[in-house]
Amino acid sequence: MGIIKFLNMFKKTPKNVYQLYHSSLHFDTKKIYRYLRYCIKADLLEIDHIEEAKFLPPKYYRLTQKGRDLITLFKDSFKTTLAPKQHSA
């Protein structure tokens, strides 16, 4: 579940580590880097761009198509899991 919450943060715009750390989900830095490594290796995230004009240039990450598909899969599975059961008469 943590990975899905993490991936959902990238749905609208690319994010950098600073933005992830200061998000409303409050991931700690160890968890952010662990999730980033995993998601990049699994081809769920990729580097969008790097701001070169800064002293420590931040990398911005975005969802890949595989990452979007995973979010959709879990979203759809939660809908069917949480949907009320229909009783036949």
Q: Examine residue 85 and state whether it is found in any structural domain, yes or no.
A: no
Task: Answer yes or no: are the C-beta atoms of 58 and 50 closer than 8 Å.
Answer: yes
Q: Examine residue 78 and state whether it is found in any structural domain, yes or no.
A: no
Q: Examine residue 74 and state whether it is found in any structural domain, yes or no.
A: no
Mean pLDDT score, 53-64: 89
Range of the domain at 36: 2-68
Q: What 3-state DSSP class applies to 89?
A: coil
Q: Examine residue 83 and state whether it is found in any structural domain, yes or no.
A: no
Of residues 53 and 47, the one with the higher pLDDT is 47
Q: Examine residue 43 and state whether it is found in any structural domain, yes or no.
A: yes
Q: Is the pLDDT of residue 24 over 80?
A: no
CATH number, position 16 = 1.10.10.10
Q: Is the pLDDT of residue 44 over 90?
A: yes
Phi/psi for 50 (5° steps) reads: -125, 130
Contact partners, residue 74, CB within 8 Å, separation at least 6: 4
DSSP state letters, 6-67: HHHTTSSS-B-HHHHHTSTT---HHHHHHHHHHHHHTTSEEEEEE-TTSSSPPEEEEE-HHH
pLDDT band at 1 (very low <50, low <70, confident <90, very high): low
Amino acid at 12: K
Q: Which residue has the tokens 């993490």?
A: 6
Q: Examine residue 77 and state whether it is found in any structural domain, yes or no.
A: no
Of residues 38 and 24, the one with the higher pLDDT is 38
Q: Examine residue 38 and state whether it is found in any structural domain, yes or no.
A: yes
pLDDT band at 79 (very low <50, low <70, confident <90, very high): low
Q: How many structural domains does the chain have?
A: 1
Of residues 7 and 89, the one with the higher pLDDT is 7
pLDDT band at 14 (very low <50, low <70, confident <90, very high): very high
Q: Examine residue 35 and state whether it is found in any structural domain, yes or no.
A: yes
